[in-house]
Each structure stands twice: as C-alpha cells, then as structure tokens.
C-alpha cells in the first residue's frame, strides 16, 4: 500500500482527490491537512462516498513524515516551501499547483509576482502530462511531478499531434471553464458565485496558464504563439476549449487518422467521430479528454481552416484525476487504477 498525504485537502481539488483515493485499492490515506479546518473531522467538512474516520491536520513535516507521496492541492507558493524537507525524508511529491510547472524561475516570478524559493528543484521536476510522447518513463522515475493546469491540459492535448507540423502563427484559444475552476476562495466581486446564471471572460491580457501552454508547444515548434482567452461559466465543472488554426492538411479524415494514431495508446484521450461536437457532460466526473476536428472555410493560405474542440472535467483530468494517473505511473500501477 502507498501511504498518501494531501496538503490542502479541503478545497475543490483536495476534496475530489480524497474521493478518488478513497476508492483506490493500493492507497492508504495517511494524512489530510487543512489550515482552515485543522482539528475538524473530515466527514463534517465534506461528504464522502465512504466514512473516513480521521481529522484534518496542520500541514507540517511531522504530520506528513510517514507518507510515501504527498499531493499538494494548495494555492501557488505552498509546495515550494515544503518540497525540500519532504524530499529529504524520501517523500515524493505531486504538485497540483503551479510551483514546478515552468522550467525558468524568472518566467515563473514574472507571471506569479513573487519569489520562487525552490529554484534548484525546477530542473528535476517532471511535467505530469502522461500523453506527451516518452513522458511516462520520466514520470515513473520522478521525485517531483508538476501536475498540469486545467486549461493547459485541454489545450495541449488538442494541439500536440500536429503542433510540430504547423507553420508560424498565433493560434486562437477560446476556453470556457466551470465555476469550480476558480476555487473555493473565489473573488465574487471580480467574478460570480456558483449557481448564478452567468458567463464572462477574464484575464485576457495575462492568464498564468499562457506561459505553461507555450512552454510545451515550443518544445515541438518554436514558431507558435497563442492568443489565450479564458472564460468562466456558472456550470459547476468542465472545460470546453476551442482552437482556431491555419494548417495544411489533405483531408479532415486524414487528420482524424493522425490523431487516432497519435493517441492509440492513450487510454483517456478519445477522438470523436468526424463533424461531431463533444459535450462537457460527456466527460463529467471522468478522466477523459474528448477531441473533435472540424474543417473551416478560408479564402487564403493564412486563414483559419481548422477548428479543434476539446473537453475535459477540470477537477478530474484537469486536476485530481490526472494527479492520480501520475501517482499510478510513479508507483508502477496500471494508470487506470482508482480512476473513473
């Protein structure tokens, strides 16, 4: 059994992660921490599929020292402060925040506006998107896995099979997320609360997922940039991302085959039938990503002639489910164990 700790277990992501790991046959939930709810019974804070007779603990090394792996479902800046001490105790880390996603600490500090205090660990951190070619072997050996952001997961999976063949361009990415993507500490003055019928754009100029998406795409094609426009919807969960691209391809059927071949061994990526439109409801509470490809008419070689849709559950494939998938790979379990 793998002894698991979760730092920040009482947020949306932490709750989802707890529920998934409760059903994992190879996991023992050893420590659930929460600064807000320390000392409270877990079952008093949120409803779980099975009763969990434990209390929330303070997030410190004393309470985590018996873990084999610790998940961070915390705000940015928390994992980096505890990482070295955990690694010194041979405890592996899966960070669902942004602390270890960017390889250049200067870029990280520019986008997150405070100092990165674990710069020496960025070189060894492994980006936890298992569908990237040859990434699983890196994840398996990693001491630190940086779980991708929710938007980057949807965007990168949509573009990965063709990004190295695209000509120089700025890809338009129009992405919509459920309200849970803003977290339980949502600023309702700037946005809006759950169950309120609403829909709006935000962070058009400087969303922090922009450098993360670009970092991965530029590993395959330095000529690509993106115009990333995120939106928040009052639906509870899910992401629908739309990508507008100029691409030279023979036919949409040939392109569809390219995607089928690329993701042939990726259990959680599904390529929809030609001309179908994936729905957020189809991936609700699953670790799946559904991708569909559509021809768009254009009058010149520079016009958008390809539209790609991708849908994921932002709390599962976009966060906690992908984190469990990464843990399975790290500990050499079947990557589907414990996942819907």
Tokens 């050499």 -> residue: 332
Using alpha carbons, select from 166, 142, 147 the residue that is nearest to residue 95. Answer: 147
Tokens 């990415």 -> residue: 173
For 94, list phi and psi in degrees, rounded to 5.
Answer: -120, 110
SS3 state at 61: helix
Spatial contact of 190 and 202, defined as CB atoms under 8 Å apart: yes
Structure tokens at 207: 């969303």
| Residues 83, 87, 89, 92, CA torsion sign | positive
SS3 state at 223: coil
How far apart are alpha carbons 231 and 202 in whole angstroms?
A: 6
Name 42's Cβ contacts closer than 8 Å, sequence gap at least 6.
Answer: 9, 18, 32, 48, 52, 54, 55, 56
Give the active site residues. Answer: 150
Give me the half-sphere count of Cα atoms (radius 13 Å) on the Cβ side of residue 16. Answer: 29
Per-residue pLDDT of the chain (340 residues; tens, 9 = 90+): 999 999 999 988 999 999 999 999 999 999 999 999 999 999 888 888 888 889 999 999 999 999 999 999 999 999 999 999 999 999 999 999 999 999 999 999 999 999 999 999 999 999 999 999 999 999 999 999 999 999 999 999 999 999 999 999 999 999 999 988 766 555 554 555 655 788 999 999 999 999 999 999 999 999 999 999 999 998 999 999 999 999 999 999 999 999 999 999 999 999 999 889 999 999 999 999 999 999 987 655 668 899 999 999 999 999 999 999 999 999 999 999 999 9
Cβ atoms within 10 Å, residue 55: 16
How far apart are alpha carbons 154 and 172 in whole angstroms?
A: 14
pLDDT at residue 27, as a whole number: 98
CATH code of the domain made up of 2-124: 3.40.50.720
Domain spans, the chain: 2-124, 151-314
- CATH class, 151-314 region: alpha beta
Using alpha carbons, select from 128, 150, 149 the residue that is nearest to residue 139. Answer: 128
The model carries a pTM of 0.95
DSSP β-bridge partners for residue 5 = 31, 70
Question: Which letter does DSSP use for residue 122 in this model?
Answer: T
pLDDT at residue 191, as a whole number: 57
SS3 state at 222: coil
pLDDT at residue 299, as a whole number: 56
């Amino acid at each position: 059994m793998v002894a698991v700790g979760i730092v920040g277990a009482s947020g949306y992501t932490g709750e989802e992660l707890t529920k998934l790991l409760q059903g994992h046959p190879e996991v023992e939930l050893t420590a659930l921490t929460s600064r807000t709810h320390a000392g409270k019974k877990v079952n008093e804070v949120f409803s779980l599929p099975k009763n969990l007779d434990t209390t929330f603990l303070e997030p410190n090394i004393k309470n985590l020292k018996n873990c084999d792996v610790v998940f961070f479902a915390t705000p940015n800046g928390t994992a980096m402060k505890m990482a070295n001490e955990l690694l010194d105790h041979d405890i592996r880390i899966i960070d669902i925040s942004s602390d270890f996603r960017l390889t250049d600490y200067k870029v990280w500090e520019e986008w997150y506006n405070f100092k990165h205090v674990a710069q020496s660990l960025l070189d060894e951190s492994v980006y936890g998107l298992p569908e990237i070619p040859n990434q699983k072997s890196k994840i398996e050996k990693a001491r630190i896995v940086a779980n991708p952001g929710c938007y980057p997961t949807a965007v990168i999976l949509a573009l990965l099979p063709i990004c190295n063949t695209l000509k120089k361009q700025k890809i338009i990415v129009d992405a919509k997320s459920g309200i849970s993507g803003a977290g339980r500490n949502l600023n309702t003055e700037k946005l809006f609360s759950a169950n309120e019928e609403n829909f709006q754009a935000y962070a058009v100029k400087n969303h922090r997922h922009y450098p993360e998406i670009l970092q991965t795409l530029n590993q395959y094609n330095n000529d690509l940039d993106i115009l990333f426009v995120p939106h928040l919807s009052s639906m509870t969960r899910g992401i629908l991302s739309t990508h507008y691209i100029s691409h030279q391809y023979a036919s949409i059927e040939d392109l569809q085959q390219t995607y089928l071949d690329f993701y042939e061994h990726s259990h959680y990526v599904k390529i929809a039938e030609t001309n179908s439109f994936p729905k957020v409801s189809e991936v609700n509470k699953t670790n799946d990503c559904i991708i569909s490809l559509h021809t768009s008419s254009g009058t010149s070689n520079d016009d958008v002639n390809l539209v790609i849709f991708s849908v994921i559950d932002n709390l599962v494939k976009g966060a906690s489910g992908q984190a469990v998938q990464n843990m399975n790979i790290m500990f050499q379990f079947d990557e589907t164990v414990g996942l819907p």
